[in-house]
Amino acid sequence: MISPLAYIHPEAKIGENCEIGPFCYIDRNVEIGDNNTLMNSVTVLYGSRIGNGNTFFPGAVIGAIPQDLKFVGEESTAEIGDNNKIRENVTINRGTAAKGRTVVGSGNLLMEGVHVAHDAIVGNQCIIGNGTKLAGETIIDDKAILSAHVLLHQFCRVGSYVMVGGGTRSSQDILPFSMIARDPAAFCGLNVVGLKRRGFDRETIDNIHRTYQIILQGTGLLKDLLEQVENEIPQSPERDYILEFIRSSKRGFIR
């Protein structure tokens, strides 16, 4: 199932039952697992590590060197998990000395023209819309949805279960479970529809809402507001995730 018009370096490792279309280019030091489909004109470059069951659409480029002037040819990887759909003209660069690898997890949809820069980490079951650009060392937690043409600044983190509106530009972290939109970007409430679709019950959603009421509408120092959340909101994975997210934020978060 490999087109005679594809080029595969003799040192590349290709798993079983892969389909590789015409004009694909697979470099040395590449590992591709089982049951992957590479449509025509897919480029997989040095340092790429691809799991199982992925589909790559025409024009995708995986493992190109970072667009970072500090990169001097160090060994690094671009790692992709299982069962992802990587649409046309998506670019996923490999890492730099900062982290050594760029990671895209499993079950994601990266739509046309998405760019994942060096050392970025995309979790699992995320949807990244057309033309969205993720700068270096950004982190996208699981089950996030970023609409078309979102621009995310270097080092930013996006929480799980968020919905980010099309065209949003963010230079700060995006809180879990939230909706973010407008220009400049602003907190627009909880992603209630998304949470219900993911099976969150009413009590859990209400506790997340109360948590953000305290943090975003309260007065006083942030550390005191976080302690108030710990005292007033019942312990849960969702509450603790929000607290960890905020306490570990290096760029601040959108309010």
Instruction: Kindly name the residue from 68, 82, 119, 173 that is annotated as catalytic.
Output: 119
pLDDT of 52-72, one tens digit each? 999 999 999 999 999 999 999
Instruction: Kindly name the residue from 33, 136, 159, 194 that is annotated as catalytic.
Output: 136
Collapsing DSSP to helix, strand or coil, 99 comes out as: coil
What pLDDT band is residue 111 in, cutting at 50, 70 and 90? Answer: very high
Find how far residue 90's CA is from the centre of its chain: 13
Q: Look at residue 153 in the predicted model and tell me its pLDDT.
A: 98
237 preceded by a cis bond (ω within 30 of 0): no
Q: Look at residue 55 in the predicted model and tell me its pLDDT.
A: 98
Q: Region 194-204: what's the mean pLDDT?
A: 97
Q: Which domains does the chain have, with CATH numbers?
A: 7-140 (2.160.10.10), 195-247 (1.20.1180.10)
pLDDT of 5-23, one tens digit each? 999 999 999 999 999 999 9
Told to judge if 142 belongs to the known catalytic residues of this protein, a careful annotator would answer no
Told to judge if 118 belongs to the known catalytic residues of this protein, a careful annotator would answer yes
Q: Region 109-126: what's the mean pLDDT?
A: 98
Instruction: Kindly name the residue from 118, 131, 159, 165 that is annotated as catalytic.
Output: 118
Q: What is the pTM of this model?
A: 0.96
